[in-house]
Amino acid sequence: MRGESHIQIYHSKTIKVRKIFTTFFISFLAANIFAQNQREQSVIMMRKIQGPIKVDGLTDEPAWQQVEAVSGFYQNFPTDSLPAIAKTEVKMMFDDDFLYISAVCYNEGRDYIVASLKRDYEFSTTESFNLYVDTYNDLTNGFTFGISPLGVQREGLFSEREQVATDWDNKWYSGVTNYPDKWIVEMAIPFKTLRYNKDNRQWNINFLRYSLKHNERSTWVRVPQQFRPNNILYSGKMIWEDLPPKPGANVSVIPYLSGATARDFEEGEPTDYTFEAGFDAKIGVTPALNLDLTFNPDFSQVEVDEQVTNLDRFEIFFPERRQFFLENSDLFALAGFPGARPFFSRRIGIAKDTSGNNVQTPILYGARLSGKLDRNWRIGLMNMQTQKDDDLDIIGQNYTVATVQRTVFAGSNLSAILVNRQSVNYKKKDEASETSRYNRVWGFEYNFATGNNKWEGEAFYHRSENPGRDTENFAHGAFLGYNTRNLGVFWFHNLVGENYNAEVGFVPRTGFARGELSISPVFYPTNGVINTIETEIGAEYTTDTDFNVLDQEFYASVEISYANTSEFNAGVERNTVTLQDPFDPTNSDGLELPAGSEYTWDRFGIGYASDQRKLFNYSLFTAYGGFYNGNLLEVEAELNYRYQPYGNLALAVTYNNIALPKPFEDTDFFLIGPRIDLTFTDQLFLTTFIQFNEQNDNLNINTRFQWRFKPVSDLFIVYTDNYLPQNLKVKNRALVLKLSYWLNI
């Protein structure tokens, strides 16, 4: 027995030694491989080439054969410790007019997952090759261009190191060829499309390959898994052996013609016919500084906002979609915090009539200068003028926004902002039209991130100026975040004075102080079935400006991501609310709870999203618990069927059941939104969106046809109906035709 025991112990020790050696060897090998995928070692030398390049995805020109490829992509997801399964090789070069990129994307077979042929496709549902380029060398801002295996383009701007806005459109060219074992991308990006300092010999760049088949995101320069793969702090260097060319005259004019017919059946008014013409212009003042002009802009929505059931006490945020406001929008729109933004561009063109109702007012003209002065300085200056309406007693308004930003350290910046609304030809009697002579907001802000991205933070102080509001007219906020592979800690506070008045901003609530602390441990199981387990616990307090507690929230949640792209989440929360104003919990003109009353309730929620790679996929979520003086059951479901790549059929359903004690009434709200997206080609699109909103007592049908007959040049035909759901009686109806053309001068 002693001998057998000795043999077992010896064998056990041998296994342990082997495991230790194997672990050490793998760690040593990984460390050496990682060292080859760090920013310092990842360099692309940019050389100028001669001779024409045909952008067809073949890359058979002699110039391509003279360029060295970069490869060795590493996973960012599902792990960040292994080489990519889907291999990728990239080459870059340039001539006097274009920046050229080619990529060989290896793939087993042609069974790609591509949701649509529509430009600016949803990133998470389409396989793609993408590049992220920081032309300013500030590790904060830049451009992104992506393409699917079927040649569909996607472009956008990124800011704050990794925040991407794909609403930005511009001209560039591409071609894709498909083979049984790979697809080859060829891109030609005009230097006129980019903004950069022509004397800067270093740009920052990274490449991202998204292979849905393997549920894999991989990058050329390794990005730790706790960060988004497009985080520009993890990027390689583009070194220009020959300086990039000076773009020369860079002027684009985008004229439009628009005709519309509309009728308001509820008011019994006759059909109204309108015809509009105007233009936008983009002028490159310098290679890094752009002037946008607009005259009589058509800011009608060609894409309807997605409706929501609003059971909140405060206004809901809807994003900006208008092209004029999008380039360098972070300079203007990201000042402050989400609940205390001094500037929100959707306020421009909205005024209040004598009854206090919001009405649209035409914009006469606008100008916006934005971009880089040099590597460290960015500026933004915007001015817009609206038209007066004598019939509604609405006077003209002039809007000015000025901001300046200074880069300090790596990825950090200081900024200042001024927002001014000025009434034109204001007279004392105009006070009856719910306006004032002026409204101004000014302030300062500091954003920072450490070089390894572990620490990030922000602090701001803003002040508003209004006639008769000289005290409690400030907003202040700060947050600090700590991120590692296995732990995230977030601390935040915000203080908004009672008289803080940002009329051109988004400030749904004033007269409060709020603080929040959250801790998020992250786990990475090795069983192969689960990719990540993300947990979060936190607490949030809201007080008045004298620090009397108004609201409290304690929460805990878990989210599990599986290797097959499905996800499971669950959470629990406890809320305590003290109402400062009377409030109808149904938000439907019902009986109100009194100001000063206090309510505490608990809620639990659970959700699941299926494998997004499947042609049919779905997501389900339900939550139940208290809600003020009653209970709330919430159910959300979304069903999607993809007829790849020509069509998507989606059905989103939200059901809210609010059970309240007498004398309040129980309420049920349905929000049903079928959506049909047809992409006949990469130029012809048809979208039909139906929204039945029981809370708003409205049935909306919106059908939009788009023909992109040339790059960034479109014909839109949009038909909209609004009905009363009970009897399908028409409330109003409109038909809009719009033609725009992008012309380079």
Task: Render pLDDT for 372-414 as a digit per residue (tens, 0 to 9).
Answer: 888 889 999 999 999 988 777 788 899 999 999 998 887 789 9
Counting DSSP H helices and E strands in the chain, the numbers are 3, 40
Nearest Cα to 117, choosing from 153, 75, 83, 88?
A: 153
1 exposure class (CB count in 10 Å sphere: 0-12, 13-18, 19+): exposed
Nearest Cα to 82, choosing from 245, 253, 217, 256?
A: 217
Q: How far apart are CA 745 and CA 742, in angstroms?
A: 10
For 39-240, CATH gives 2.60.40.1190
Mean pLDDT of 431-435: 56
Q: Is 6 helix (H, G, I), strand (E, B) or coil?
A: helix
Contact present, 229 and 144 (Cβ < 8 Å): no
What are the pLDDT digits (tens) for 251-285?
Answer: 899 999 999 999 999 888 899 998 999 999 999 88
What are the pLDDT digits (tens) for 475-490?
Answer: 999 999 999 989 999 9
What are the pLDDT digits (tens) for 494-510?
Answer: 999 999 999 999 999 99
How are beta strands 43-46 and 236-240 bridged, if at all?
A: parallel
pLDDT band, residue 24 (cuts 50/70/90): very low
Identify residue 741 by its one-letter amino acid code.
Y
**Lookup: tokens for 60:** 């058979």
- E strand residue ranges, 390-437: 397-408, 412-423
Q: Is pLDDT at 683 greater than 90 in this prediction?
A: yes
Q: How far apart are CA 285 and CA 271, in angstroms?
A: 44
Q: List helix spans (H) across 117-215.
A: none
Task: Specify the pLDDT at position 163.
Answer: 81
Q: How far apart are CA 632 and CA 659, in angstroms?
A: 6
Contact present, 743 and 255 (Cβ < 8 Å): yes
pLDDT band, residue 20 (cuts 50/70/90): very low
What are the pLDDT digits (tens) for 113-156?
Answer: 898 898 888 888 899 999 999 998 888 889 999 999 999 999 99
Q: Is pLDDT at 535 greater than 90 in this prediction?
A: yes
**Lookup: tokens for 204:** 């920052």
How far CA 613 is from CA of 112, 338, 565, 648, 658, in Å, comes to 10, 33, 7, 13, 35
Task: Provide the whole-model pTM.
Answer: 0.84
Contact present, 382 and 371 (Cβ < 8 Å): no
The DSSP-derived string for 709-736 is: EETTEEEEEEEEEEEETTTTEEEEEEEE
